[in-house]
Amino acid sequence: MSTPYRHWEIIDRGRTGKFMDEDDFLPRHFSPTLKKLIKKYEIKYDSQNPCPSDEDMADRIWQAAWDLFREVGYYNTDSHRVIEVADDEIKEALYFAKDHYAVGGGKDARVMKHRTIEDTEPPFCILSPDITVDEKYHQSMCMAYLKEPILDGLCGPILEETFGHLIESGGPSEIAGCIQHIQNQKMAARLVGRPGVFMVAVGTAEHDSGQIAVSDNDWGVQKSDARLVGSLTEFKTADTLLNRSLHYAQYGSYTGSLTGAIYGGWCGGSEGTAITTVAYSLIGLVIHGAMFNQHFPFHLNYGSNTTRELLWAISMAGQALARNSNLLYTSNGFANAGPMTEMLFRETAVHAMVSTVTSWHLWEMASTRNKYRNRATPLEARLGCEVGHAVARQKMSREQANEIANRLLAKYEDSAADAPMGYEYHECYDAAKALPTDEHMDMFRRVKDEIAEMGVEFPY
């Protein structure tokens, strides 16, 4: 049961399901159920192993996630109704879920397929700055990312202004900004010789109208591209989000479900974050008909997921999904440090390594906690994805990844709270040429050599 086939049933349940006051949903329904399931399935975080090898626990996390979704449901904040599903409906959706998709077009087409634990096939690499950018740098940054050969897909930077006007959600300026966003991305792809490259677009859209406005197979978001539909924290949706998944299905583009379980929030600790992340993959499939699930669990205080508490949750969630489904899912890195800092390169490397060996595809990299304009470059994403390719090719085990992860964590984890902000895009790159500065490249090579000495066998 997933929206491309059952969307009217889902929409109907969002109007006729069990009524619940929104203030009661999380403290009286979601969190108590999650705590009960953590205890029932004996899920236990191990701080010494950011990349554990506990397959029995992975299976218990899967079952806990299944029960969480089935028992809690999905809350519609507009109707104050709970969308509930049955076991048979989850089973049906999983049975018909495809384990691979061909995305993009022409010579730039790629196949994204389900990965297994310690898979020797490299991860599908979606590169994304995950930040807002000045209008004057938008196309340059798109080109800089598209110049990376390791890129399989692009999610471009976000605009806050369009032609000097502040973009306002739901208004004419948002539609204009979304059109400018996709036009910049498509033009950048054509200029660098990758016109058919897979895109996830457009992040500038906050409202459903912005996404709908750019659905055009000639000049806009094409049917070979993907769109994202988010979730409200935790386990909540709204009509504007359901509108998106309905439109994506009817237009014919791929749907990605975007979720970020919060460590230290309603999910509790690492155990609850891992369970909730897996449950979100089931929600993405059943509620939104998602082709893939894009996860960015993050720390409530830091806003990152490169600390050991989050690496453990990412690792265990990936193993649970790999062992019990054929779903597709990307691990979205959120780092504490900013561009052109050794800390950011190390954070990206460890996130990519742990994610890759535990079955994830990669979505790299949100620097400076995804909070500061212009603070992202393709070089950190390049390093993360090169690490992903390397550890897959060399058949790295979880035990090896765990040892390297602990060594890298020792170099930066004490600085998580006061990480350096680094520099803005135009200070790290020649914006006119969309190329990194010598200083930035020197730092990239230096940290890459350091990681290679730890045991990562880069192919080039």
pLDDT tens for 236-262 read 999 999 999 999 999 999 999 999 999
CA distance 139 to 158: 11
- What residues pair up with 255 in beta bridges, in sequence order? 227
Average pLDDT over residues 310-338: 98
The domains found in the chain, sorted by start residue, are 100-136+227-453 (3.20.20.460)
pLDDT at 37 over 80: yes
Number of other CB atoms surrounding residue 305 within 10 Å: 30
**In the predicted model, what is the mean pLDDT of the chain?**
97
Predicted pLDDT at 4: 59
Mean per-residue pLDDT, 29-46: 98
Q: What is the pLDDT of residues 59-115, one digit of tens each?
A: 999 999 999 999 999 999 999 999 999 999 999 999 999 999 999 999 999 999 999
**Residues with Cβ within 8 Å of residue 357, at least 6 apart in sequence:** 51, 117, 118, 391, 392, 396, 397, 398, 401
Beta strands 74-76 and 81-83 are antiparallel
Question: How far apart are the C-alpha atoms of 175 and 208, rounded to whole Å?
Answer: 10
The rounded percent of the chain whose pLDDT value lies above 70 is: 99
d(CA 10, CA 65): 20
Mean pLDDT of 419-440: 98
Contact between 295 and 333 (Cβ < 8 Å):
no
The residues, any chain, with a CB within 8 Å of residue 3's CB and separated by 6 or more, are 10, 245, 246, 249, 255, 287, 288, 289
